[in-house]
């Protein structure tokens, strides 16, 4: 496929050659409010010349951001000002759930040409977001080679290395000389687009090495590339999850990563710009889980489908509500067990909240560690000890402070000691649970980010109030 999409053309040419990448006076901030107002006014006035100028100034990413908030009724007026290349870039940059909406405003031929402008990985991503019947028609309309590429990529899960890779790359046989490799690069540059390395394969198309472009250009023309190539190459299989791929890019500061099958045959490559999208997607997913949403679907978060939004978020809130019945019963038990010392009751939410807060902090740190690769199942003891010490220190400080408050308020030493001891034990316990619960979810192959939300907070609230109740029984008595 033609590699004119944002992930390739912008890297292949210099800023001076790319008008869309020049600093734009039209973009003044992340909110896009001024640009939206300006665009709406131009459409309503019918000032097409100024509208063309505004659209030309906008980078494809900024234009996509405007389309998210632009009234749908005005979409056709703006789309009419876009050529095929800009439509292609816009489709790549739009959120997944809006690509179908954009497709409804385009002719079939416009869609086909826009898909043909994209790199194979971007084309597969866009087609996967379109209705199945429309996607199939578009695939059938593509040239044979492009169709084979897209169909090959669509076989892989979207969140796998195979779903991220593009098939356009530069590969040369290991029998070539430097001059042969340079000639091959020149002959295929337009089709491949951006390339940072030349991959070297054997007769069975197995990856045997990689050539740095700088080294290739500086080497003598007659030198065999087998003497020049680097044989230690980081690779990944097509079935590997995108999170693991992102870790490889981050760990080894990669620009591109070749994808090979089980026999070592070169299938495609993943570029760094796709990993930026992965990191953003994973961060969004983790944040939604931490907020208590069991499933992250952008169209169920950023649109007006209120019933679907409620159905996604309600299960975890109901689970939290069920868990909160235990603290409610414990409050009732306080009133029954300590009728002569009701001064214990006002401190129940204080102890519970502090336990829940420190537990949430610990679990968030662990979940973040899982995501970045700094935490794994092999270093449980280290993080458990560390969080226990931190919990004890913070519990000691908070317990001492609340004991002073209790003494000044009620002047009862038993109350002060009970609250202080409860706070210390509850916060230390909550810190450990904040480590153990995400580890447990990880062991049973459930996303540990789920545990960083209401679940951990509810467990720690219950545990903290239970500790407070037991401490009161021991130190105060019935």
Confidence band for 15, pLDDT divided at 50, 70 and 90: very low
- The set of residues, in sequence order, having a beta carbon less than 8 Å from that of 206 and lying 6+ positions away, is 260, 263, 264, 265, 266
pLDDT at 12: 33
The helix/strand/coil state of 302 is: coil
pLDDT at 376: 76
Least confident of 57-71, 125-139, 253-267, 290-304: 290-304
Least confident of 244-248, 323-327, 466-470: 323-327
65: pLDDT strictly greater than 60:
yes
Cα–Cα distance list, 113 to 4, 20, 101, 106, 355 (Å): 12, 20, 17, 11, 58
Distance between CA 359 and CA 354 in Å, rounded? Answer: 8
Determine which helix (DSSP H) or strand (DSSP E) holds 52, and give its type and residue range. helix 48-57
76: pLDDT strictly greater than 90:
yes
Residue with tokens 């009751």: 345
Give the start-to-end residue ranges of the domains of the chain. Answer: 9-155, 171-271, 324-475
pLDDT at 5: 41
Cα–Cα distance list, 131 to 137, 157, 211, 438 (Å): 10, 17, 41, 37
For residue 258, the cross-strand partners are 269
Same fold, 171-271 and 324-475: no
Confidence band for 322, pLDDT divided at 50, 70 and 90: confident
Instruction: Name the more confident of 120 and 28.
Output: 120
For residue 206, the cross-strand partners are 265
pLDDT at 303: 53
Instruction: Name the more confident of 207 and 453.
Output: 207
Instruction: Name the more confident of 157 and 278.
Output: 157
pLDDT at 20: 40
Instruction: Name the more confident of 43 and 443.
Output: 43
Question: Taking the CB of residue 57, how many other CB atoms lie within 10 A of it?
Answer: 18
Is residue 209 within 8 A of residue 173, CB to CB? The reply is: no
pLDDT at 378: 75
pLDDT at 1: 64
Determine which helix (DSSP H) or strand (DSSP E) holds 126, and give its type and residue range. helix 120-129
What's the chain's average pLDDT?
Answer: 83
Distance between CA 425 and CA 430 in Å, rounded? Answer: 9
For the chain, give the percent of residues with pLDDT over 70: 82
pLDDT at 337: 72
Quick: pLDDT tens for 330-346: 777 776 777 666 778 88
For the chain, give the percent of residues with pLDDT over 90: 49
Least confident of 128-132, 259-263, 452-456: 452-456
Average pLDDT of 52-79? 92
Please state which CATH number belongs to domain 171-271: 3.10.580.10
298: pLDDT strictly greater than 80:
no
- The set of residues, in sequence order, having a beta carbon less than 8 Å from that of 41 and lying 6+ positions away, is none
Query: Which pair of structure tokens corresponds to residue 2?
Result: 């033609």
Confidence band for 190, pLDDT divided at 50, 70 and 90: confident
Confidence band for 290, pLDDT divided at 50, 70 and 90: low
Average pLDDT of 194-200? 90
24: pLDDT strictly greater than 50:
no
328: pLDDT strictly greater than 80:
no
Confidence band for 369, pLDDT divided at 50, 70 and 90: confident
For residue 271, the cross-strand partners are 256
Task: Please classify residue 140 by burial: count the beta carbons closer than 10 Å to its beta carbon, then call 0-12 exposed, 13-18 middle and 19+ buried.
Answer: exposed
Instruction: Name the more confident of 239 and 277.
Output: 239
pLDDT at 19: 39
pLDDT at 11: 36
> For residues 105-126, b (16+ Cβ closer than 10 Å) or e, as one string?
ebeeebbbbbbbbbbbbbbbbb
Is residue 287 within 8 A of residue 190, CB to CB? The reply is: no
Distance between CA 351 and CA 419 in Å, rounded? Answer: 8
Instruction: Name the more confident of 96 and 99.
Output: 99
Distance between CA 437 and CA 162 in Å, rounded? Answer: 32
Distance between CA 126 and CA 121 in Å, rounded? Answer: 9
Architecture of domain 324-475: Orthogonal Bundle (1.10)
Is residue 88 within 8 A of residue 117, CB to CB? The reply is: yes
- The set of residues, in sequence order, having a beta carbon less than 8 Å from that of 364 and lying 6+ positions away, is 290, 434, 452
How are beta strands 256-260 and 171-173 bridged, if at all? unpaired
Least confident of 217-226, 295-304, 309-318, 417-426: 295-304
- CA 204 to chain CA centroid, nearest Å: 36
Distance between CA 284 and CA 287 in Å, rounded? Answer: 5
Distance between CA 374 and CA 392 in Å, rounded? Answer: 24
Q: How many residues does the chain have?
A: 478
Distance between CA 414 and CA 395 in Å, rounded? Answer: 18
How are beta strands 256-260 and 266-271 bridged, if at all? antiparallel
Least confident of 149-153, 296-300, 399-403: 296-300
Q: Which CATH superfamily is domain 9-155 in?
A: MgtE N-terminal domain-like (1.25.60.10)
pLDDT at 110: 95
Least confident of 26-30, 198-202, 395-399, 419-423: 26-30
Confidence band for 379, pLDDT divided at 50, 70 and 90: confident
349: pLDDT strictly greater than 90:
no
């Amino acid at each position: 496929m033609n590699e004119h999409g944002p992930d390739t053309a912008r890297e292949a040419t210099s800023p001076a050659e790319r008008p869309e990448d020049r600093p734009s006076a039209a973009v003044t901030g992340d909110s896009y409010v001024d640009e939206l107002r300006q665009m709406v006014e131009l459409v309503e006035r019918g000032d097409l010349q100024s509208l063309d100028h505004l659209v030309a100034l906008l980078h494809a990413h900024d234009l996509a951001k405007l389309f998210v908030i632009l009234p749908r009724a005005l979409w056709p007026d703006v789309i009419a000002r876009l050529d095929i290349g800009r439509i292609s870039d816009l489709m790549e940059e739009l959120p997944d759930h809006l690509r179908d909406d954009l497709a409804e405003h385009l002719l079939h031929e416009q869609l086909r040409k826009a898909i043909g402008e994209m790199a194979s990985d971007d084309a597969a991503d866009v087609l996967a977001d379109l209705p199945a019947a429309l996607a199939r028609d578009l695939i059938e309309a593509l040239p044979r080679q492009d169709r084979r590429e897209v169909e090959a990529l669509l076989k892989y899960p979207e969140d796998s290395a195979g779903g991220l890779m593009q098939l356009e790359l530069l590969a040369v046989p290991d029998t070539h000389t430097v001059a042969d490799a340079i000639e091959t690069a020149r002959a295929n540059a337009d089709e491949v687009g951006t390339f940072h390395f030349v991959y070297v394969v054997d007769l069975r198309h197995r990856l045997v090495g990689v050539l740095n472009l700088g080294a290739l250009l500086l080497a003598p023309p007659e030198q065999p590339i087998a003497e020049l190539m680097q044989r230690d190459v980081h690779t990944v299989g097509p079935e590997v999850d995108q999170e693991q791929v992102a870790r490889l890019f981050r760990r080894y500061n990669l620009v591109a990563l070749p994808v090979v099958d089980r026999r070592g045959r070169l299938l495609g490559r993943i570029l760094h710009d796709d990993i930026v999208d992965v990191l953003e997607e994973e961060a969004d997913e983790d944040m939604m889980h931490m907020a208590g949403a069991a499933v992250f679907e952008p169209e169920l978060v950023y649109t007006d489908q209120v019933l679907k939004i409620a159905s996604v978020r309600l299960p975890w809130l109901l689970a939290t509500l069920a868990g909160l019945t235990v603290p409610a019963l414990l409050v009732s038990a306080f009133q029954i067990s300590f009728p002569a010392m009701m001064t214990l009751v006002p401190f129940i939410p204080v102890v519970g909240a502090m336990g829940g807060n420190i537990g949430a902090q610990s679990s968030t740190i662990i979940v973040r560690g899982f995501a970045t690769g700094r935490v794994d199942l092999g270093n449980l003891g280290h993080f458990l000890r560390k969080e226990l010490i931190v919990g004890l220190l913070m519990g000691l400080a908070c317990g001492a402070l609340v004991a002073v408050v209790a003494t000044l308020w009620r002047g009862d030493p038993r109350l002060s000691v009970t609250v202080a001891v409860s706070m210390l034990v509850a916060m230390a316990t909550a810190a450990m649970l904040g480590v153990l619960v995400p580890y447990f979810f990880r062991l049973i192959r459930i996303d540990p980010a789920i545990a960083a939300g209401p679940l951990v907070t509810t467990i720690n609230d219950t545990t903290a109030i239970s500790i407070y109740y037991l401490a009161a029984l021991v130190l105060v008595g019935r």
